[in-house]
Every structure is written in C-alpha cells, then in structure tokens.
Amino acid sequence: MVRIAITFVFALMLSASAWAGNWNKKTTLESNGRIPQKASPNLTDLRESYSRYYEGDLYKNGRLEILASKNPYQFSFNLIKNTQVIRSLENSGLISYLRYEDGQIVIDELSPKNRLGDLISNETTFNSQSVGKSFISYILGHAICDGYIQNLNHQLNDWPLIKGTLYEGQNLNDLINMAAGDSSYFYGAEVKFKNKFNHRNVNHQPIAYWSEALQGSKNINLFGSSWNYNGFLSNLVNNYIAFKAGDNYNGLLIKVFQENAMIEDSAYFLKIDSYTGTARTQNEGRLRSTFFANRYDYLRIAKAMLDDWKNDTCVGKYLKNIYKNKISKEANGHSPYSSSSSYAGFFHTDFIGVKGKVFGMNGYGGQNIFINFDTGTIVVAHAVHQNYNWRTLVLQAVSSK
C-alpha cells in the first residue's frame, strides 16, 4: 500500500510538473504577436498575443475615429447560463460571447478574471480582423443608397489612383465578391508578386503604393469569375467609397454607425501612416478595413443589418441583392470561413449544415459575427485564438430551429 501511495504521489508530481511546463512553454508567436492558426497556445501565449496584437490601445496613431451616438441603442436582456459557452471561455482563446435572440441578449459572457478577463471589459475595443471587410460592404450599401455610387455594376473607370492596373474598369460586384482576377498578386493578407520595395503585407502600404507596383497588371479571369480571398480588395473598396463621397465620407460613416447602428462608444478604422512609393497623390488611399469597437457595439452594428433586412430598407435591398449575386466557393468545414459554400459581397454565406439565410463575418483568431436573417438570431464572438467550439457556439447557435 505504501509503494502504491508513493507511486501515486510521484505520478501526481509528474503531472503537475508537466502542467506547469505546458503553462510556461512558449508557442512560436509571429513577430507582431499573432498566434499561428494551427498552433495550440497555452494561457501565457494567449495573454502575450492579446497584449501585443489585439489590444486596441496599441493603435492610437493612424486611425479614423467615429464618435459615439448621442442616443445609443439600449438592449433588453433575458440572460441564461450556457455551460458550453462558459467552458470555452475557461479553456480556450475565446474572450467574449454575445447571443441575441427574439430581440434580446440571452447570453452575455466574458473570459474569467483569472484567465483573460482581467485584460478586458465591456468598454474594450476589439480588433475586427476580417470582420471589417463585411462592414465595408455595409458602408458601400449606404453609399449606393445615398447616391454616391450608382449601383453594384458601376465600373471603376473614374478613379485616377488605380489607372493602369487590373482593377481599372472592373465592376464593384466582382470586387466585393473577391472575383477580381488578382490571384497572381494577392492571397489573404500576403503579397504574391515581387516589387521593388518587397512589402509582403497588403496592410502596410496605401493604395497608391500598390497601384504603382501593379502598373501593367492583368485580370486573369478570362473565362468566368474565380474566387480569390484577399485583404487588398476591402481596402480598395473602402478607399473608393471615400473617393466617391469626397468631403462627405465622414458624414457617411456618421450615418452608418452613429445614426443607424447607434453605437455607444467611439469606434474607428485603422489608417496607413507609412508610404514608400514615389507617385504622390492628394488622396493616396490610406484607409484600411480593420475596425475596432466594443463588444456591444459590434452587436449593435449586426442588429442594424438585421433591421435593414427585415424592414426592406434601401440598404436591406442591397444586402438581398449581394446575396442574389453571390459567387460559389469551396467548402471543407475546417473553420467558419471555410464552412460556407458561397460568398456574397464580403460576407460568407450558405454554410454546411446550417439552416436559414445566414450571413457570416469571420476574422483571424476567431472573430465571428453571424446573423440569421430568417430567425433574427445573432452571435458575436471575439477571441485571441479560434481554438474554441465554434461549430456549436457559432454555426449551430444561429441555425434555424
């Protein structure tokens, strides 16, 4: 019995030692603090990644601020506890989870204080990652409805900034469907072609720089449209909206976020400060699609989209029109991003095993905003890493009953 007891205690010591080692063991973080998508981060990694990459206060310079509404939308609550949500917050990179059903917030949870919760609050501005692409589409809908742009068939023949590139003359519908024939140049946030300054990330330089580098480039979509997901097109469209709206661009953002979404705190888009090109212009296209807002304001923006759809407003008709003009893409079910079989104007749509007309917004590291326009259910999830049960908490949560 004594030998068994000693063996048991020794096993416990080994287990504790292994646990402590795993706690302190470092995942190879990328230079900017991002965790590789296929990594298995421990808590130390998650906390460091959040502090170095996701924290909104890191981006005090180079941003376009949108002030809070004077009359922010006030949510109703009918809260329930969900063990799957709580378990994910306790054991993964999930840091914030909101579920909205039947006009009320029914689940509202943050990461525990002894994990990541001490780093965040309801006022924390979370990094949208590629969720911001969908917000650009929503702004585009408002720009069309307000008459700055004629329609989705409008061709970019009037913007000197992209003259001589493959994007000149293309229509907006192809651009927001990621069907611009630019797979030889961009993929994701990466740059596939060499240029004299050798920048490898689309977000590090404004449109003027890439236009200079892309002079003489060609659209490779010779026989129909081909989907090529990348980070350049949402930046391009955002800057084109600003070009068309001119001095009224800030007013357009005020209408979208202050008046329509009725945000409670300030939000902002990032801007690009550096420029190493030679072709100086009055408007170099410095806007990005990366967006920061607090957790409730992300829900307010999603609710505004839902209200537009249900009320069949002009912007609601725009959302229905981009769904009608969606493009097919491969779906393998490995992530929220790859679980959709079509793409509609910077939104992921038609998800594997999901019932209802669902629009998904997905960003690096597990940022997910999903709207079921049939049932009115919305899920807003923010994370440092997408190692949580997104199939249950996001896809199944918005699937029609």
Per-residue 3-state assignment (H helix, E strand, C coil) for 248-293: HHHHHHHHHHHHHCCCCCCEEEEECCCCCCCCCCCCCCCEEEEEEE
pLDDT of residue 195: 75
pLDDT of residue 29: 85
Q: How far apart are CA 292 and CA 125, in angstroms?
A: 5
Cβ atoms of residues 138 and 301 within 8 Å: yes
- Of 74, 70, 90, the closest CA to residue 82 belongs to 90
The DSSP secondary-structure symbol of 100 reads E
Residue 153: CB atoms within 10 A of its CB come to 10
Q: Is the dihedral of CA 400, 295, 52, 273 positive or negative?
A: positive
Pairing of strands 378-383, 94-101: antiparallel
- Partners of 291 in beta bridges: 269
Residue with tokens 């410095």: 286
For the chain, the residue count is: 401
pLDDT of residue 7: 40
pLDDT of residue 53: 86
Give the neighbor-by-neighbor strand order of the sheet with 327-328: 104-110, 94-101, 378-383, 367-372, 358-363, 348-351, 340-343, 327-328
Residue 194: CB atoms within 10 A of its CB come to 9
Encoded tokens for 207: 């449109």
Tell me the pLDDT of the chain (401 aa) as tens digits: 444 444 433 343 333 333 333 334 456 688 888 899 889 999 999 999 999 888 777 777 789 999 999 999 999 999 999 999 999 999 999 999 999 999 999 999 999 999 999 999 999 999 999 999 999 999 999 999 999 999 999 999 999 999 999 999 999 999 999 999 999 999 988 899 887 666 678 998 899 999 999 999 999 876 566 899 999 999 999 999 999 999 999 999 999 999 999 999 999 999 987 666 665 566 799 999 999 999 999 999 999 999 999 999 999 999 999 999 999 999 998 899 899 999 999 999 999 999 999 999 999 999 999 999 999 999 999 999 999 999 999 999 999 86
Taken in order of first residue, the domains within the chain and their CATH numbers are 2-50 (no CATH), 63-401 (3.40.710.10)
Encoded tokens for 39: 């990594």
- pTM, 2 dp: 0.91
